[in-house]
């Protein structure tokens, strides 16, 4: 449950939220509108100087890049895995993140679940994300997984559509992204609550 009086942090250059992402592995970024999520990811990517691995499973980011709505930065390595080449791409990413510092974005949780059947998804996806996170700790990398989500009747965050519970561990950071007239607000969930205010 979100704190009624959260700490408010003005973070127009995203320095504070990036430090927050470094503290937890993995990080799950909840959102309700895909377009707003991509606007934020573009702003986040623009602020990052390190190498970025973008695992674009729902292909929205790739679509925006191809259409010219978003300009792809030179430090972004873009992967578009499917069920057939997931293992091959994952091996490449594991090799990279085990040796050097990267900012890894997996977009999105929902699409990964749709890629595999019920039995495979819960076990396999969790293992892949936790493996990347474990390797990321050794190289000071950050791992973010986006997830389109909503609250159920028990006030738990679940994937939307589908209703699956979001996999998390004690080391997982969970954040809610919301668009405002002034920009974005990112709220921490389940821990001491902060609101990161990102103005246009």
pLDDT at 162: 57
Range name among 32-36, 113-117, 144-148 with the lowest pLDDT average = 113-117
pLDDT at 100: 97
pLDDT at 1: 46
pLDDT at residue 120 greater than cutoff 70: no
pLDDT band at residue 191 under the 50/70/90 scheme? low
Decide: 186 and 176 in contact? Cβ < 8 Å.
yes
Domain range summary for the chain, segments of one domain joined by +: 7-199
- As a residue count, the chain comes to 200
Angle at 104 between CA 101 and CA 108, to 5 degrees: 170
Mean pLDDT, to the nearest integer, of 41-59? 96
Decide: 200 and 13 in contact? Cβ < 8 Å.
no
pLDDT at 121: 64
Whether cis (ω within 30° of 0) applies to the bond prior to 26 is: yes
- Write out the CATH class of domain 7-199: alpha beta
pLDDT at 4: 63
Cα–Cα distance between 47 and 41 in angstroms, integer?
10
Decide: 143 and 132 in contact? Cβ < 8 Å.
yes
Q: What percentage of the chain exceeds 90 in pLDDT?
A: 64
Mean pLDDT, to the nearest integer, of 191-198? 86
Of 191, 183, 180, 178, nearest to 149 (Cα)? 178
Averaged pLDDT score across all residues of the chain: 88
Retrieve residue 76's tokens.
């972004």
Phi, psi dihedral angles at 62 (to 5 degrees): -60, -40
């Amino acid at each position: 449950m979100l704190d009624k009086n959260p700490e408010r942090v003005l973070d127009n250059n995203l320095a504070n939220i990036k430090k927050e992402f470094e503290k937890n592995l993995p990080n799950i970024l909840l959102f309700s509108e895909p377009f707003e999520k991509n606007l934020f990811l573009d702003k986040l990517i623009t602020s990052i100087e390190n190498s970025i691995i973008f695992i674009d499973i729902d292909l929205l980011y790739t679509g925006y890049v191809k259409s010219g709505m978003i300009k792809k930065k030179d430090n972004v390595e873009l992967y578009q895995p499917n069920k057939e080449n997931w293992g091959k791409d994952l091996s490449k990413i594991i090799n990279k993140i085990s040796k050097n510092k990267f900012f890894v974005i997996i977009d999105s949780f929902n699409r990964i679940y749709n890629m595999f059947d019920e039995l495979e998804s819960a076990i396999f996806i969790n293992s892949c994300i936790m493996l990347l996170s474990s390797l990321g700790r050794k190289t000071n990398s950050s791992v973010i997984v986006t997830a389109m989500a909503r609250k159920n009747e028990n006030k738990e965050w679940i994937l939307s559509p589908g209703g699956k519970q979001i996999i998390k561990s004690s080391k997982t950071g969970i954040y809610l992204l919301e668009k405002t007239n002034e920009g974005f607000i990112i709220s921490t969930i389940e821990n001491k609550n902060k609101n990161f205010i990102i103005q246009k």
